[in-house]
Amino acid sequence: MIPTLEWLPTGVNFLDQTKLPLEETYVLATSYQEVATVIRDMIVRGAPAIGVSAAMGVAIGIDRSKTTTLDALTAEVDVICDTLAATRPTAVNLFWGIGRIRDLYNRLVEGGADIATIKKAVVEEACQMYDEDIAACKQMGAHGAALMPKTGTVLTHCNAGALATCGYGSALGVIRAAIERGHTIDVLADETRPFLQGARLTAWELMKDNIQTTVLCDNMAGHLMSKGRIQAVIVGADRIAANGDTANKIGTYSVSILAKEHGIPFYVAAPWSTIDLATLTGDGIPIEQRAATEVTHSNGKQMTPDGVGIENPAFDVTPAKYVTAIITERGILRAPYEESIRAMTAQEQPI
């Protein structure tokens, strides 16, 4: 299993995704501020991975606190949570991860726990979230495998793999699970400009698993679809609104329309923590704007003339009407999504 992130006695260890595929190096974050930097700089990225990273960030902040009173610790926890919440706005998993440790902290304080007990409990909770994330990926795989073609080519956009989760992956987990169940699948990975998650990360992790992978530029998918070369599309998600509108890496929206035009199923795979019932439609999802230099420069080299205008929204929203199904660890959601999401929310959950 690719070690995307790991809680160690010395800190939280992250595989540096900015260096892949050329270098396999690690960054050890020993404070919550360092975890925040790791998330902001996309050393770790992908919604489920940043959710658990943020939880570990809150836990390390509490665990390493030098304060001796609960009042002082609570004031510090406010700062820790605010700092981590300010790193990236779109993936709701980040806020879910912070909220889960914060809620536990509040419950422990209300229950009269001492500081040592709180420190131990929050670290254990963050580590449990790590295990749950891998279990959720495996469950998504189990639910979604049958949706993949028995034999054929599947297109994916960005990286929704082991590197974007604590292991195994959401969209790539479904592909892995289908292959484990005997499907013959090769993967087309959109390069995913400007950060190149497809070219650098999806290609790297699938090749490690000996899964046949081909990288294409983002503007080539329509052509290949028109030639019958793509049997299904599967992507991850950063936030799914209550009506099924799905925010994912910039370019996903265009792929969804192309898939619709060519009659190709378009699947989203995401853990339940990506569903944001408080956001009713995609219009309410905040879209992260990243630095212009991600677009103007490639590998340190300037690609555009000085002074030209630059757009760099990191995500877009795919309307629910283009989504064939949403694969979660709880099961498969189908349209109308308001109803299927509400019904599955109400069910008793094993994970």
Active-site residue list: 238
Q: Does 136 bind ligand MRU (CB under 6 A)?
A: no
Q: Does 237 bind ligand MRU (CB under 6 A)?
A: yes
Identified binder of ligand MRU from the candidate list 38, 47, 233, 333, rule CB under 6 A: 47
Q: Does 38 bind ligand MRU (CB under 6 A)?
A: no
Q: Does 282 bind ligand MRU (CB under 6 A)?
A: no
| 83 versus 248: smaller Cβ distance to ligand MRU | 248
Identified binder of ligand MRU from the candidate list 5, 35, 48, 332, rule CB under 6 A: 48
Q: Does 140 bind ligand MRU (CB under 6 A)?
A: no
Interacting positions 145-164 with ligand MRU (CB under 6 A):
158, 160, 164
CB of 268 to ligand MRU, least distance (A): 9
Q: Does 249 bind ligand MRU (CB under 6 A)?
A: yes
To the question of whether residue 46 is assigned a binding role by annotation, the answer is yes
To the question of whether residue 40 is assigned a binding role by annotation, the answer is no
Interacting positions 60-89 with ligand MRU (CB under 6 A):
none
Which three-class secondary structure string do you get for the chain? CCCCEEEECCEEEEECCCCCCCCCCEEEECCHHHHHHHHHCCCCCCHHHHHHHHHHHHHHHHHCCCCCCHHHHHHHHHHHHHHHHCCCCCCHHHHHHHHHHHHHHHHHHHCCCCHHHHHHHHHHHHHHHHHHHHHHHHHHHHHHHHHCCCEEEEEECCCCCHHHCCCCCCHHHHHHHHHHCCCEEEEEEECCCCCCHHHHHHHHHHHHCCCCEEEECHHHHHHHHHCCCCCEEEECCCEEECCCCEEEECCHHHHHHHHHHCCCCEEEECCHHHEECCCCCHHHCCCCECCCHHHHEECCEECCCCCCCCCCECEEEECHHHCCEEEECCEEECCCHHHHHHHHHHCCCCC
| 313 versus 336: smaller Cβ distance to ligand MRU | 313
Which residue ranges make up the site for ligand MRU (CB under 6 A)?
A: 45-48, 91, 158, 160, 164-165, 170, 197, 235-238, 248-249, 314
Binding-site entries: 45-47, 88, 197, 248-249
Binding-site entries for substrate: 45-47, 88, 197, 248-249
